[in-house]
Amino acid sequence: MKIRVPATSANLGPGFDSCGIALSKYLFIEIMEESDRWEILHELGSEIPNDESNLLLRVALKLAPTLTPRKIRMYSDIPLARGLGSSSSVIVAGIELANRLGHLNLSDAQKVDIATAIEGHPDNVAPAIYGDFLITAFDHEHKQTYVVKHHFPECNIVAYIPQEQLLTEASRNVLPKTLDFSTAVEASAIANVMIAAVIKGNLPLAGKMMQADRFHENYREKLITHLSTIRQICEEEGGYGCFLSGAGPTVLAIVPPEKADKICRLLHALETNAAIEQLQIDREGVQVF
């Protein structure tokens, strides 16, 4: 049995801690033979545990403590600490591992509730489970997650993925504790229009709103100096808009398919230490084969 979980991108500019999309980069988990102990085989680096201390197994064994140990092969092209939902993909894979081997028969809604309780917010885990475009909210008082899935319009996504990591905690530390009322009203209105534009299939307007965020990108730009340069290239070459992927440092540009190749070439010409990739929206979410 294999479990496949997509990468995700949260926020989409003004949809802070609420909106997310699933992307065509993947974590794969292959469940192999039973063993006398849990062992995860991977080539993801020495900092990733290969025993029960791995996040995958911590999640799975929390849900199903009596699972029979097995060997597991893990491989992924989702880079760590780049704003592409690497930890969320592992959490979702752990839930699905417990669900399948423990015969838990969890619904997608239950999976989202469990994943949100672990991750703290649903904007990455929900699209990893459902696929496509998700608008989410989490009621902290009642521990209730609300999600709405919608088709994201067809487009190409150009990803600028720096080699250096940026931990979410560091990126959150630059954010203000509060916003004044007028700024909050403006930020909320921008997010509303962005979501409505996506639902109506109006990517030019959605992209404009993605770049008008008032919640977080202005503060994080001091840590992510390449954002303004990429935004300028995107605007000059006919892209719809670009935004920080999650807490960064990855930047995603939403572009018409016919513009993607040239925008990629121009980003490559920046001669920075980053990978430039073309991605698609993953429509399926977590899959089991």
Q: Are residues 275 and 145 in the same domain?
A: no
Closest CA to 286 of 181, 179, 130, 139: 130
Is residue 182 annotated as involved in ligand binding?
Answer: no
C-alpha dist (Å) from residue 97 to 8, 25, 27, 35: 19, 19, 13, 16
Give the CATH number for residue 162. 3.30.70.890
Judge if 43 and 121 occupy the same domain. Answer: yes
Instruction: Reply yes or no on whether the pLDDT at 223 is more than 90.
Output: no
If asked whether residues 38 and 169 sit together in one domain, one would say no
Evaluated on CA atoms 128, 133, 139, 145, the torsion sign reads negative
pLDDT tops 90 at residue 272? no
Q: Are residues 79 and 111 in the same domain?
A: yes
Asked whether the predicted pLDDT for residue 63 surpasses 80, the reply is yes
Residues 98 and 114 in one domain: yes
- Do 79 and 143 fall within a single domain? yes
Angstrom distance (rounded) from CA 158 to CA 178: 32
For the whole prediction, is pTM greater than 0.85? yes
Element (H, E) at 241: strand 241-244
* Distance from C-alpha of 264 to C-alpha of 160, rounded to nearest angstrom: 9
pLDDT band at 171 (very low <50, low <70, confident <90, very high): confident
80 is in an annotated binding site: yes
Q: Label residue 62 by pLDDT band (50, 70, 90).
A: very high
Percent of the chain at pLDDT > 90 equals 86
138 plus 162 within the same structural domain = no
User: What pLDDT was estimated at residue 111?
Assistant: 98
Q: Considering only CA atoms, which of 176, 252, 242, 175 is closest in space to residue 208?
A: 242
Average pLDDT of 44-49? 88
Same domain? For 128 and 173 the reply is no
On whether 245 is known to bind a ligand per the annotation, the reply is: no
In a shared domain, residues 134 and 170: no
79 is in an annotated binding site: yes
Q: What confidence category does residue 174 fall into, taking pLDDT thresholds of 50, 70 and 90? A: confident
Domain count, the chain: 2
Judgement on whether residues 265 and 174 belong to the same structural domain of the protein: yes
pLDDT at 39: 96
Domain span at 66: 2-150+284-288
Question: 253, 229 in Cβ contact below 8 A?
Answer: no
The mean pLDDT of 245-261, rounded to a whole number, is 95
Q: Residues 84, 120: one domain? A: yes
Annotation-wise, does 86 bind a ligand? yes
Per-residue pLDDT band at 46 (split at 50, 70, 90): confident
Answer yes or no: is 84 a known binding residue.
yes
- Check if the beta carbon of residue 207 is closer than 8 Å to that of residue 226: no
Tokens, residue 140:
């902290």
- Mean pLDDT, the chain, rounded, equals 95
Is 286:193 a contact under the CB 8 Å cutoff?
no
CATH of the domain at 111: 3.30.230.10
Has 81 been labeled as part of a binding site?
yes
**pLDDT tens digits, residue range 177-219?**
999 999 999 999 999 999 999 999 999 999 999 999 999 988 8
Q: What is the pLDDT of residue 129?
A: 99
Q: What 3-state DSSP class applies to 143? A: coil
At residue 165, the pLDDT reads 76
> What's residue 168's pLDDT?
65
Residues 173 and 121 in one domain: no
pLDDT tens column, 67-81 = 999 999 999 999 988
Write out pLDDT tens, residues 90-140: 999 999 999 999 999 999 999 999 999 999 999 999 999 999 999 999 998
CB-based contacts of 2, cutoff 8 Å, min separation 6: 28, 29, 30, 31, 288, 289
Residue 169 has pLDDT above 90, yes or no: no
The answer to whether 83 is annotated as binding is yes
- The per-residue pLDDT for 47 is 87
pLDDT of residue 253: 98
